[in-house]
Amino acid sequence: MGTINSAFGLISGALDADQSALSVVANNVANANTAGYTEEKPDWQENSPITVNGITIGEGVTETGATSQRDRVLEQRLDQQQQLSSASSARLSALNQMQALFTPDSGSTGSKAGDIGSDITSFFDAFSSLESDPTDNALRESVLSAASTLAGDISGTATSLNSQRSAIDQEAAGIAGQVNSLTSSLASLNQQIESTSPDADAGTLEDERQQDLSQLSQLIGINEVTTENNGLEVTTTSGQLLVSDSQSYQLTTGAVDGVTDFLLGGNDITAGLTTGGGELGGYLTARDQDIPNALSSLDQLAYSISTSVNAANNTGTDLDGVTGTVANPLYIFNEPAQVAGSAAAMTVTMTDPNQIAAAAAGAGTGDNSNAIAIANFASQQIVNGQTPTDYYSNFVTTLGSTVSEVQSENTAQTASVTQLQTQNNALSSVNLNDEAAAMSTLETSYQAAAQVFTMLNTIISSALNLGVETAVS
């Protein structure tokens, strides 16, 4: 009887186990459309064997629970790529706005930041025109008008860049609150997971934690370390602790030099967050690197043009026969004391066109040699070893290259995130595609793409070689 009872027990145990497994499958189907839900698979545990007359007989299996089909390594890789992608997206958005400022608008007749290149040419051309008749009032008015347009466009652009910087600063500051909300949630989930599932997958709690990590990765650069009892430690990429098991550490902000700095436990971690990734990293790179670089270039341009033109005008003789002095200088532009801030402050201070010193010192008022000297600045290396137009043109080209570079990075990172999401979906989500098929797709895609790349590279290289003249001996 004992044997028959054991056999019944074995069969009913198997049926119970199947029933439990069916419940897990039903749960998967019910949650197929739940965001962040991870497929669960039943865990089977061997029952203790029965020994009859020295012969050991298996006792079947029992369904002991469900394990989510997640892979933390893949999820972490996805989080890391998401951080890079979010950072480049945020930076690219800021760079595109900046680039739009410097794009010439051929259809517009009004002053525009994008016209600085042509403004520089027009200003020095106005001096060239004055050479023909240095006493002509209309030509003198034209010089001051061109100077006003140039100064207005440079200072307007600097103002726009400063406004953009302030707007980005506000966006960045707002992220701190979102980060704090997520780290608090992570600490709470850690506590629940550690108390309910210290040595097993925590199912939906784990899903919620992963969703929080994913959102946090879009905001800032983080590192994740699994701790004892299924806990999790989260740090910034530069190592500052954000979450340690059930404890979260709040990010605070403070104004330093007119912008928001980020503090954790009293330490300023802004620099680490800038290079760390996530939206915040992208915004901070634009705020602390891209925009200041552009402003610095404009400052240099404004400073060099203003000081060179002012100095030359001050040494000449104006239409009233006056030469500038230290006490009463003949300055066209306001004289900047230093490079920093020159662009925003650039303006035309001269109001009387007669004060334009077209004549050389000591020469008659009909002389034009000083006007020629100032007009020649257009082709002289007065801005950091370059002519004004070359300097401005190189600056715009460098900005364009940076935009292009970040665009390429962003495209590759977005593609990488898309691919990883596909792989993760195949593994973690309720999906009929199995992992092997997803892996095979990735492998085959890579191989086919590598083949396409090699062939295209060969075609393009040979085409470019056709354009190169080769010497025939």
Partner 1 sequence: MRLIDAAIGAADGTAGKPACESSSAPELKELVTEATRALARLDVARLEELALSCEALTRIPPPKTDQEREGFVRQARAARSDMAVFARVLEATRSNLKVMERLRDLRLGETEYRERPGSRRGWGRKDP
Q: Which is nearer to partner 1, 228 or 257 (CB)?
A: 228
Nearest partner of 419 among 446, 451, 442, judged by Cα? 442
Q: How many CB atoms lie within 10 A of CB 192?
A: 14
Contacts with partner 1, 81-120, as mask; x by CB under 8 A: x---------------------------------------
Among 11, 29, 271, 450, binds partner 1 (CB under 8 A): 450
Counting residues that bind partner 1 (by CB under 8 A) gives 53
How far apart are alpha carbons 27 and 66 in whole angstroms?
10
Q: Could you give the 3-state DSSP secondary structure of residue 248?
A: strand
Does 186 bind partner 1 (CB under 8 A)? Our answer is: no
Q: Which residues contact 28 (CB under 8 A, 6 or more apart)?
A: 39, 40, 430
Task: Find out whether 82 and 93 touch, Cβ atoms under 8 Å.
Answer: no
Per DSSP, 33 falls in state T
The strand pair at 222-226 and 232-236 is best described as: antiparallel
**The dihedral formed by the CA atoms of 291, 295, 298 and 303, expressed in degrees to the nearest 10:** -170
| CB nearer partner 1, residue 29 or residue 449 | 449
Determine, following the binding rule CB under 8 A, whether residue 211 of this chain makes contact with partner 1: no
Task: With beta carbons less than 8 A apart as the criterion, state whether 116 and 154 touch.
Answer: yes
* 57 interacts with partner 1 by CB under 8 A: no
Minimum Å gap between C-beta 220 and partner 1 is: 20
SS3 48: coil
The answer to whether residue 455 forms part of the interface with partner 1 (CB under 8 A) is yes
Which segment (71-79, 113-121, 151-159, 363-371) binds partner 1 by CB under 8 A?
71-79
Contact flag: residue 422 with partner 1 (CB under 8 A): yes
Kindly write out the interface string for residues 391-410 of this chain, putting x where it contacts partner 1 by CB under 8 A and - elsewhere: -------------x--xxxx
The answer to whether residue 462 forms part of the interface with partner 1 (CB under 8 A) is yes
Is there a contact between 241 and 273 (Cβ–Cβ < 8 Å)?
Answer: no
Does residue 439 touch partner 1 according to CB under 8 A? yes
For residue 74, state whether it binds partner 1 (rule: CB under 8 A): yes
Among 362, 360, 333, which Cα is nearest to 147's? 333
- Pick from 98, 87, 116, 151: nearest CA to 292: 98
State the nearest-atom distance from the C-beta of 230 to partner 1, in Å: 12
Which of the stretches 70-78, 233-241, 287-295, 362-370 binds partner 1 when contact is defined by CB under 8 A? Answer: 70-78
3-state secondary structure of 256: strand
Query: CB-wise, 8 or 446, nearer to partner 1?
Result: 446
Does residue 32 touch partner 1 according to CB under 8 A?
no
* Residue of 290, 342, 352 whose CA lies nearest to 320: 352
Tell me the residue ranges of DSSP E strands in 207-256: 222-226, 232-236, 241-244, 247-248, 251-256
Is residue 7 part of the contact set for partner 1 (CB under 8 A)?
A: no
As measured in angstroms, the least distance from the Cβ of 77 to partner 1 is 5
Scanning 45-53, 270-278, 279-287, 332-340 for contacts with partner 1 by CB under 8 A, the matching segment is 45-53
Least distance from partner 1 to the Cβ atom of residue 24, Å: 16
Distance between CA 250 and CA 185 in Å, rounded?
12
Binding site for partner 1 (CB under 8 A): 43, 45-46, 48, 64, 71, 73-74, 77, 81, 199-200, 404, 407-416, 418-420, 422-423, 435, 439, 441-446, 448-453, 455-460, 462-464, 466-467
